[in-house]
Amino acid sequence: MPTTYETIIGLEIHVQMNTKTKLFCTCDNDSFNKEPNTNVCEVCMGFPGTLPVTNKEAIEKGIISGLALNCTIPSTCKFDRKHYFYPDLPKGFQITQYDEPIAINGHIEITIDSKKKIIGIERLHLEDDAGKLIHANSGTLVDYNRSGTPLMEIVSKPDLRSKEEASAYARSVQQIMRFVGSSDADMEKGMMRFDLNISLRPVGSEKLGNKVEVKNLNSFRSLEKAITFEIERQTKMLEENDTIKKETRGWDAEKEISESQRSKEEAADYRYFPEPDIPPIHIDSAWSEDLKNKIPELPQAKQDRYRKVYAIDADHARIISEEFDLADFFEEMMDYTNAHFTATNLLVTDLLGMLNKEHQSITDTKIKPKQLAELANAINDNVLSTKMAKEVLPVMFETGKDPSTIIEEKGLKQVSDKHELEQICKKAIEAMPKAAEDIRNGNDKAIGALVGFVMKETKGQANPGKVNQILLSLLRH
Amino acid sequence: MSISLEEVRHVARLARLKLTADEEARFAPQLANIIDYLGMLQELNTDNVPTTSQVTGLTNVTRADIISCAPRQDELLACSPLPKEDHQLLVPSVFS
Amino acid sequence: MSYTNLTISTAHQMLSAGKISPIDLTKHCLEQIEKTDPTINACITVIKEQAIAHAEDAAKRYKNGEPRGILDGIPLSIKDVFCIRNIRTTAASHILENFVPPYDATVIGKLKNAGAIFVSKTNTDEFTCGASTETSAFGVTKNPWNTETVAGGSSGGSAASIASGQCLGSLGTDTGGSIRQPAAFCNVTGLKVTYGRVSRYGVISMASSLDTIGPLARSAEDCAHLLEIIAGFDPNDSTTPQVPLKDYSMEAKKALPKYRIGIPQEYFGDALTEETKIAVESAAKVFEKMGCTLIPLSLPHTKYAVSVYYILSPSEVSSNMSRYDGIRFGPGPKKIPDDLQEYFFAAREEGFGDEMKRRIMIGTYALSAGYYDAYYKKAQKVRTLIIRDFEEAFKNVDALLTPVSPYPAFKIGDKSQDPLQMYLADTLTIPSSLAGIPGISLPCGFTSEHLPIGLQLLSPAFTEERLLQLGFHYQTATHHHLTCAPITI
């Protein structure tokens, strides 16, 4: 019987912080779409004699992010220098946190197939980013705009066991960073990057296999593809009794393969030592408590609350809780309606669908939460049929008008008046004696034709449920 | 505790210093001599002594998150000996 | 008239009284540079036109009766590790031989605001790594008292420029003795400040946890005037505490209290020359006569200081030198290789001199995997013991009195072939550097060969005013500091 293997995954996630200035100098931290080397100064270009001065906002956002990941904030953290030579690294060292990071020992909860799992977080530390290298025909071009941008490196414990878990974890970290406001975590702008640590071991074995590190994963897709690729590659090697080397591999997003990074002539030796130019940071409990109070409710907590309080569908709760503004819209809408299920449906299925089509987000819509709640109420109170509601919503989307105004303008009111409906039902029975006879004989299927007649007569404004009731009572008595 | 020729070569590489045969011959015994001298610290018992990285006793020296960089990118770029292409420095290919 | 032993205080009085003009004074200094520097080699760059232009501005201010203070119109030399906007700044290294910074060091900005005039960028050991200026890529600076001997280092150019009458004062840096020792060798007064008292921003780093910026001048009073301008918190240097500044020149002149002065026995060992010992001991007697008490004491970890220093400082040097890769500044390699790593190797091989290569290798070794605990971490711990020695001593005394150097200026070439011997030249200045405390170097006599001898006073952190006061009163009682070097006559 072939051996089955268990996959052990740990993720290092680099998240760019959204402070106004860089980590150690006062340059603009937003270099998106800026001309190369225009967002630089002597400090972030590592010029002689320059010194770093720490951005307080970055420290605070680091603490907040750590707390949101359920980390402990040690009373002291410090910066260290990590040395290597590369053209994008102006000082010849990166300022990072080696043995005393700003946050340690955290965890987050992920949900896979409605099962919850806790993923441990080893640490979160702050560091400055390097510049950007662009390959050209004539050589490599260096742009230092990104140099000095504050990064958080979030290191998970090797608790992830599958592509799905890794992806869910990474997405959850992304949401949390967005929710606490420490990063826009926009993958397309390179604000989030992954390094993957992955090894296999026979199921039941306690011993960890040799760890392979895959670098340069810039999207969720690459992350997932890289895991699939590595599982296949390593499984094959194990089956062929090859030894898996402990190594660093690079991800080629185009070919969708990982490649061994040319075996370096020497082992990396970063020669860390405490950064002498930056005094250590002491974080007392008053400071971290104060910051803790600023943390909004996080997606997982929101999701749990929505399911509990509004009894909505799990998928809907997840979708809504993932986006801060959407959750805000949802909560405001819920203040105006008891039709929780209907309103949520309108929001997630209909409104989000329309927004997606237009490549817009919830903040772009003209529809107010209260208006969508009114539409849900109209359906629930049988003022409108679901079908009619679907005529009203696009007009709301287009104009931002109240549903009541649109209903009036369109004369869309559902006919629910019993007397009125009875008259039309009698007309239907007269017009379709065969169908009426069938029903009298117990063949309920025939009722469809009669209902159809009534709907046609009322231009679709009759309440179909009521029509059904009336027809049955007229024919069975 | 002394430093071998192999180690001299290794640290030179780490530090991106390429030593000529002549430099190796000169530096290796000098460095060995120095490293031997530095070894005298080993005779001290420092088990319960804390390290000193900085002497000021300062903590939490930070600045406000306000953009205020002097715009002199062109002057800075002009300090580079390398050719410039599209306002970027052109270095030998990192992929070669 | 001769300005070669003019102090800043006197010059300011003369300028204010209209007896001389800043233009004359500046021109005189430039002429003196022209006359003496071919022999002395104190200057890497002479700042002629700009100095005269600034002197003209200063002259107008004096004429209008609105000088900016005591430093207005005073010609100074600046060690060539301070970035001055649009003035070449080399750190005496080929790797920066064409570097023109587009920014000022914080202290340079302060001196500019005070109206000081920069006449030259002075020679130093390469990146301040040395005790003789022999490691400079621009040749050795010769001692104005005897041109066969070194001027000391690393601020040898600064000390020699004052001693040869090229300027009235200078800024230097002191990491392990680099202000105090050349001051002693050249009969100049030099102040090493408390670590953090003066901003390091814009001054090319050697060893970041040890580097200090300080004045060299013809008197302790002049050092006080310079310190008043350059000291203080800098938002661009996170290691400058917000300790209140003193009115140093006023404090210096206050009557001398009956200070208890410690004489640490470890500083008077066998390595000391007899003449140095005699000169320093007689200086101690001068303080005794002024009412101070001399108290023999011990700083037991002194002998470990050189080892601690030559682990920690090269480690930080190796790190600080990493940015010199020929990419953003400096001349880069003569031929651009196709391979990136080869580019780094070529730029650094061509750019750094022997001593830099040695220190970078020692530091890289001490920080590398497997050796960090045995060297770097061990040295950090022993640094703590050395700091404690001083803390203990200052419980009982107000200051310590020692020689600056075990011997006077040595012959050029005497120690440059044996790096370890050169390192041991800083034996008496290194411990206080490790502790981050201030020290002053005062001329205290001459050898039979007319080489100056220096006296060192040390005091607790942020008590520079005490050292300046002791210096002021010593210089009131003695005249060594006003004796001119033969070259100026």
Cα of B24 to nearest chain A Cα, Å: 19
Q: What is the pLDDT of residue C466?
A: 98
Cα of C127 to nearest chain A Cα, Å: 11
Cα of A75 to nearest chain B Cα, Å: 12
If one compares A383 and C383, the residue with the highest pLDDT of the two is C383
The CA-CA-CA angle for residues B18, B24, B27, to 5°, reads: 110
Q: What is the pLDDT of residue C286?
A: 98
C2 assigned to active site: no
Considering only alpha carbons, which residue of chain A is nearest residue B51?
A274
Nearby residues of C470 by Cβ (< 8 Å), 6 or more positions away: C220, C256, C259, C287, C399, C440, C457
If one compares A391 and C344, the residue with the highest pLDDT of the two is C344
Average pLDDT on A323-344 reads: 93
Name the pLDDT band for A428 (thresholds 50, 70, 90): confident
Q: What percent of chain C has pLDDT over 90?
A: 98
Whether pLDDT at C419 is above 70: yes
Q: What is the pLDDT of residue A229?
A: 96
Give counts: helices (H), strands (E), chain B. 3, 3
Residue B18 is nearest to which of C239, C349, C365, comparing CB atoms?
Answer: C349
Q: Which of C178, C313, C433, C441 is catalytic?
A: C178
Return left, alpha or beta for C146; rule: phi > 0 is left, psi -120 to 50 is alpha, else beta.
beta
Whether pLDDT at C187 is above 70: yes
Residue ranges of domains in chain A, CATH in brackets = 5-292 (no CATH), 299-410 (no CATH), 418-476 (1.10.10.410)
Whether pLDDT at C391 is above 60: yes
Residues C240, C208: Cα–Cα separation, whole Å: 12
Give counts: helices (H), strands (E), chain A. 16, 16
Residues A4, A338: Cα–Cα separation, whole Å: 51
Residue ranges of domains in chain B, CATH in brackets = 5-43 (1.10.20)
Q: Which residues of C touch A91 (CB under 8 A)?
A: 322-323
Whether pLDDT at A258 is above 50: yes
Average pLDDT on C87-101 reads: 98
Whether pLDDT at C428 is above 60: yes
**CA nearest C314: which of C403, C229, C375, C254?**
C375
Q: Which residues of A touch B59 (CB under 8 A)?
A: 279-282
C154 assigned to active site: yes
Q: What is the pLDDT of residue C1?
A: 57
Contact indicator for C415, C486 with CB cutoff of 8 Å: no
Q: Tens digits of per-residue pLDDT, B31-82?
A: 999 999 999 999 999 999 999 999 999 999 999 999 998 789 999 999 999 9
For chain C, say whether A91 makes contact (Cβ under 8 Å): yes
Contact indicator for C119, C76 with CB cutoff of 8 Å: yes
Query: Best interface-test mutation with A: which of C98, C328, C375 has the largest number of A CBs within 10 A?
Result: C328
Q: Tens digits of per-residue pLDDT, C345-383?
A: 999 999 999 999 999 999 999 999 999 999 999 999 999
Cα of A11 to nearest chain B Cα, Å: 26
Whether pLDDT at B27 is above 90: yes
DSSP string for residues in C316-353: HHHHHGGG-SSSSSS---SS--SSHHHHHHHHHHHHS-
For chain B, say whether A75 makes contact (Cβ under 8 Å): no
Whether pLDDT at A27 is above 80: yes
Residue B93 is nearest to which of C340, C348, C360, comparing CB atoms?
Answer: C340
pTM summary value: 0.90
For chain B, say whether A21 makes contact (Cβ under 8 Å): yes
Query: Mean pLDDT for chain A?
Result: 91
Q: Which of C79, C121, C142, C246 is catalytic?
A: C79
Q: Which residues of A touch C91 (CB under 8 A)?
A: 48
Q: What percent of chain C has pLDDT over 70?
A: 100
Residues A457, C379: Cα–Cα separation, whole Å: 97
What number of residues does chain C have? 489
Average pLDDT on C328-343 reads: 94
Q: Which residues of B touch C379 (CB under 8 A)?
A: 38, 41
Residue A20 is nearest to which of B59, B67, B93, comparing CB atoms?
Answer: B67
Q: What is the pLDDT of residue A265?
A: 44
Q: Which of C21, C120, C154, C164 is catalytic?
A: C154
Helix (H, G, I), strand (E, B) or coil at A252: strand
Whether pLDDT at B96 is above 80: no
Residue ranges of domains in chain C, CATH in brackets = 8-257+437-488 (3.90.1300.10)
Average pLDDT on A185-212 reads: 91
Return left, alpha or beta for A46; rule: phi > 0 is left, psi -120 to 50 is alpha, else beta.
left
For chain C, say whether B45 makes contact (Cβ under 8 Å): no
C208 assigned to active site: no
The tokens for A391 are: 């005529």
Residue A49 is nearest to which of C83, C238, C328, comparing CB atoms?
Answer: C83
Residue B67 is nearest to which of A28, A58, A265, comparing CB atoms?
Answer: A28
Q: What is the pLDDT of residue C140?
A: 98
Phi, psi for A225 (deg, rounded to 5): -65, -40
Q: Tens digits of per-residue pLDDT, A77-124?
A: 999 999 999 999 999 999 999 999 999 999 999 988 889 999 999 999
Q: Which residues of A touch B65 (CB under 8 A)?
A: 19-21, 55-58
Q: Which residues of C touch B82 (CB under 8 A)?
A: 327, 332, 336
Whether pLDDT at A380 is above 50: yes
Residue C323 is nearest to which of A46, A52, A279, comparing CB atoms?
Answer: A46
Whether pLDDT at A8 is above 60: yes
Residue matched to tokens 């050189």: C306
Residue matched to tokens 């040595």: C410
Q: Which residues of B touch C384 (CB under 8 A)?
A: 49-52
Amino acid making up residue A439: I
Q: Please judge whether C103 and B54 are an interchain contact, meaning their C-beta atoms are less than 8 angstroms apart.
A: no
Return left, alpha or beta for C127; rule: phi > 0 is left, psi -120 to 50 is alpha, else beta.
left
Average pLDDT on B11-38 reads: 95
Contact indicator for C7, C216 with CB cutoff of 8 Å: no
Q: What is the pLDDT of residue C159?
A: 98
Query: Mean pLDDT for chain C?
Result: 97
Strands B62-63, A54-55: pairing kind: parallel
Chain C neighbors (3+ CB pairs < 8 Å): A, B
In terms of C-beta density within 10 A (0-12 exposed, 13-18 middle, 19 or more buried), how is residue A74 classed? middle
Q: What is the pLDDT of residue A266?
A: 52
Whether pLDDT at A260 is above 90: no
